[in-house]
Amino acid sequence: MAKKQLTPQQQEYQELHSSYEKKRPVLKNCIYAFFIGGFICLIGQCLHVFFYTNFNFTEKTAGNPTVAVLIFLATLMTGLGFYDRIAQIAGAGTAVPVTGFANSIASAAIEHRTEGYVLGVGGNMFKLAGSVIVFGTVAAFFIALIKTILMKAGVL
Amino acid sequence: MKRKLVSILAVLLCLGACTQAEDERGSAFKLQEAAGHGQEASDRAKDEILAMEEVISVRGIQYKEEMVMAMHVKQVDRFQLKDVRKKAFDRIKALYPDYTIHISTDKKIYKELEDAENKVKAGNLSEKELEKTIKVIEKHSKG
């Protein structure tokens, strides 16, 4: 769709509007996202070390209970309303780790609880997370396909 | 502007945290003298693994012709763990072609071998217990 041509008055208004518009603190947001996201990862790493040190897990298998605990904590915090407050400050720092995925499912389920368990919670649970699953699966399929072709060709 | 520069510098400092301590190589924990029973092959294998550029420290024990080794790899080389394991395996296999060798980079197995080494050094591990320990660690390294 072609962009609508603005009249001189509209252009003047746009300039005036943008001069009053509050600038987004991009750098500050990046720093918050970096440190809070990093802190979530640090908690994950601590849990990982805790599991393989104190229980019968190896470094490889300790990843499963670690992810389970992080998902549980994120879901609990979403239910109690803490996670959204942190997400408002950290943005992508809370959305990128597995806790963000858990939050997207839990918050959608809570939001649609009033519509009933089956059509409300069950039907809308993956409203946000569905796209992540679909594109993740499709991307994994194509990457695996490329890897297989390269391995057959002897490149890898 | 000044605040922005300070923030950028702070982030760069955090990102570029240097890991000079990583370059300090640990010495291999020799068992033959303390144990009094066949650990000479594992001692030699430790020296062989420690000679590798990617390895910081190594732990390992043997029982007859079975050997289990675990190593700490430099952070930057942890992207090629599979290659590092293969390289270490090939080096030890060249020394002891008849041995059953297990090489691991798993921190849990490293910790278990550390405990086993301490027990061997203290003389608290009999032949039978040593065999049992090796079996347990092998099972972990496969799982």
Cβ neighbors of B121 (< 8 A, separation 6 or more) are: B29, B31, B34, B35
Alpha helices, H only, chain A = 8-20, 26-54, 63-80, 82-90, 92-95, 98-111, 123-124, 129-153
Rounded CA separation A138/B100 (Å): 41
**A118-142 pLDDT, tens per residue?**
888 888 898 888 988 999 999 999 9
Tokens of B74: 């430099």
Q: Which residues of B are less than 8 Å from A30 in CB distance?
A: 11
pLDDT-derived band at B20, boundaries 50, 70, 90: very low
Contact B7 A58 (CB under 8 A): no
Chain centroid, CA B67 distance in Å: 12
Give A60's contacts in chain B (Cβ within 8 Å). 106, 143
Looking at residue A63, what is its pLDDT? 93
pTM summary value:
0.76
Q: pLDDT tens-digit profile of A55-85? A: 988 888 899 999 999 999 999 999 999 999 9
Which residue in B7, B8, B108 is closest to A59 by CB distance? B108
**A87 Cβ under 8 Å from any chain B Cβ:** no
Bridge partners of residue B102, in order along the sequence: B68
